[in-house]
Amino acid sequence: MLFHEVIFGPIHSRRLGVSLGINLLPTDGKICSFDCIYCECGYNSQGKGTRLASREEVKTYLEEKLIAMKKEGVTPDVFTFAGNGEPTLHPDFAEIINDTKALRDTYFPNAKISVLSNATKISNPKVFETLMQVDNNILKLDGGTDRMVRLIDVPNSPSYSVAGQVEELKKFNGNFIMQTMFLRGEHKGEVIDNTTPEELEAWYKIVRELRPKTVMIYSIDRPTPEKQLTKVSKEELMSIARPLIEDGIEVSIA
C-alpha cells in the first residue's frame, strides 16, 4: 500500500494520536535504505517512482492542508514524516523540517513533529542535527543481532551492522525514541523470530546501553508483503517490556 499523496490524513496513530502524515518520497513508488519484510508500502522492487516533491511543493501542500484543517476545526496532535520509504533520504530533508516547524508554529503550535526513520542516515551530520531538533525522532532497531536485523529489515548496505548502528545512536545521548517491531514467521526459507531468549537478551543489552527516552514496541497491524508472518500478542509485548520498565526505562506498547 503506497501513500499516493505528499500530505495524507490526518489518521489516528496507535502511538502518536491524531497524525498528519508527510511523505517525502515519490507518491508512485518506494525509496528506502531498508527493504523490510513487514513494510506496509511493499518491497523496493516495485520501483522508485517518478520524482520527489520539491521543498517548495511540500511547503505549499502542507500549508494548504493546515488552512483546510483550521477551517474544519480539526486539530492534529502530531505532524509525522513517514510514507513511501526513508524520509531522511530526501536531499532537502533538513530544510523541509525547518519549513514544517514554521508552519506548525503558525497554525497548530501545540502539535509535535515526529520523524519515523530507520536511522541509516544518522551518520550524516546534517541529518543528525535535524533529528535532534524535532520533538520525536523515532529511530528503528528491530533486533539485537546482525542475523535477525538482516532477515527482518534487509538493509541495502552490505556493511550494515547492529554494532555500527548502536555506535551512531549513542551520539543522541538518549535523546531519541527507539522503535522495535516484534514478529514471527518465515521468509525465503529462514525462520523469523526476534522474541527468542537469545534475541531478547541481545536487544535488552542494547536498550540498557542506549537508554532512549522511550522505547516503542509493537507488532504487525496491517498487511505485509511477506505473508508468512504472525503477530506478537499485546500480552507478550507487555512481558517483553517488563524487564525494561523495572529498570526505569519508559516503554510504550501499541
Confidence of residue 16 (pLDDT cuts 50, 70, 90): confident
User: Residue 2 domain-assigned?
Assistant: no
Q: Residue 251: what pLDDT?
A: 97
The amino acid sitting at 26 is: P
Instruction: For the chain, give the percent of residues with pLDDT over 70.
Output: 99
User: Residue 214 domain-assigned?
Assistant: yes
Q: What is the mean pLDDT of residues 174-181?
A: 98
Say which CATH number the domain at 240 has.
3.20.20.70
> Any idea which residue has 531478547 for its cell?
200
Asked if pLDDT for residue 153 goes beyond 90, the answer is yes
In tens, the pLDDT along 28-71 reads 999 999 999 999 999 999 899 989 999 999 999 999 999 999 99
Q: Residue 254: what pLDDT?
A: 83
In tens, the pLDDT along 108-147 reads 999 999 999 999 999 999 999 999 999 999 999 999 999 9
Is beta strand 190-193 parallel, antiparallel or unpaired with respect to 183-187? antiparallel
Domain that holds residue 94: 7-253
Asked if pLDDT for residue 14 goes beyond 70, the answer is no
Please report, in angstroms and rounded to a whole number, the separation of the first and last CA atoms in the chain: 21
pTM, whole model, 2 decimals?
0.94
User: Residue 97 domain-assigned?
Assistant: yes
Report how many domains make up the chain.
1
Angle of helix 197-210 versus helix 234-246 axis, rounded to 10? 40
Burial label, 79 (beta-carbon count in 10 A; 0-12, 13-18, 19+) = buried
- Give me Rg for the CA atoms of the chain: 18
Mean pLDDT over each residue of the chain, to the nearest integer: 96
User: Residue 156 domain-assigned?
Assistant: yes
User: Residue 20 domain-assigned?
Assistant: yes
User: Residue 1 domain-assigned?
Assistant: no
* DSSP state at residue 76: -
Asked if pLDDT for residue 15 goes beyond 80, the answer is no
